[in-house]
Amino acid sequence: MSDLPPVSHALDDAIRRAIDSKTKPLGALGAVESLAVRIARVQGTLTPDLHRCRLTLFAGDHGIAHEGVSAYPQAVTRQMVANFLAGGAAANVFARANGVELRVVDAGVAGEPIDAPGLVSRRIAAGTRNFAVEPAMTEEQCDAALRAGDELGVNVAADAAAFGEMGIANTSSASLVAHKLTGIGLDALIGRGTGLDDGGLARKHAILARAAARTAPRLDARRALCEYGGFEVVMMAGAMIGAARAAAVVLVDGFIAGAAALAAVELAPALRDYLVFAHRSAEPGHRAVLEALGARPLLDFEMRLGEGTGALLAWPVLKCAAAMLSDMASFESAGVSGPDG
């Protein structure tokens, strides 16, 4: 996956001149201008076109859930898959409001395979193993999940690709993947997830500290994903790389997506310039992940739902940034006097 081509900087000077010539004071659109530059680089044009976004929502279960690290039972993952397919979740509502196509992928939901109209099956297994006592998955399973994600990303058929997740206990997975990739302390990475009380949070800390002690302090991306990832997390990492290979702008959602992005950037370093970080989650570990990636998120609404909801809210901002560069008049074309008269 390291063969992902880097974005081109050949047009950087021309892009900057085009933005500075628009009918506005220099820099007046702030971070929107920087966002327009990033989009133009990905598309390799002075007139970027962002009209279609697709949200791919990966669902998978985690053996660590049986240790009691979540306030919700594991069965909720499967129940929420049905809710997504029925159109009733927050992700569905936000996607409809913004004209975004949503597809749901079974990456490894516990129980029997789900047979439902509209579901995309890339099922690796019926959930991961309990990483408190053994690796979450085999190397073969990890590679299969990366390949499946890459294939889904390459075939995203959209200008922008957003990725979401559903999996009870996946904040535990994200915390440990981020911990092993960055060396950031667990105290900075572990949060309440689905809403643990103080006792539940203390128990989660103890369980994850025990799980972390199983392996070396730092791991490479593939090893960290094998030891602590979820099938939905690994598949999302592969999908980010695949979507970038298809020259799509990649919208990164919250904490779990951020952990997947950390791993994906290590696997394919050129990916970093394809990524736009949608929002800062209220989950405390997300701030640390964003800092590790050198990322400045577009929004901060104190959300921690996942499902790609933050990415969906950021999509209109991306469309506006691209339209500004492509459609906004210049001082010359509008007959407006510039700053020099």
Mean pLDDT of 121-131: 98
The CA distance from 171 to 187, in Å, is 13
| Mean pLDDT value across the chain | 96
Q: What is the mean pLDDT of residues 259-279?
A: 98
Q: pTM here? A: 0.96
| Residue 44 CA: distances (Å) to CA of 21, 40, 49, 129, 316 | 19, 6, 11, 43, 21
Question: So what's the pLDDT on residue 123?
Answer: 98
Beta pairing, strands 275-277 & 53-60: unpaired
> Which position among 151, 302, 307, 332 bears the catalytic label?
307
Reply yes or no on whether the pLDDT at 58 is more than 70. yes
DSSP letter assigned to residue 272: G
Using CA atoms, how far residue 315 sits from 35, 176, 261, 274, 285, in Å, is 12, 29, 18, 15, 23
Confidence band, pLDDT 50/70/90 cuts, at residue 341:
low
Q: Could you tell me the two tokens for 213?
A: 């002690």
Flag whether pLDDT at 80 surpasses 90: yes
Considering the domain 53-318 in this protein, what is its CATH number? 3.40.50.10210
Q: If pLDDT is split at 50, 70 and 90, which confidence band does 188 have?
A: very high
pLDDT over 70 at 329, yes or no: yes
Is 302 a known active-site residue?
no
Largest CA distance in the chain: 71
Q: What is the pLDDT of residues 13-44, one digit of tens each?
A: 999 999 999 999 999 999 999 999 999 999 99
- Convert the pLDDT of each residue in 307-318 to its tens digit: 999 999 999 999
Average pLDDT of the residues in 111-140: 98
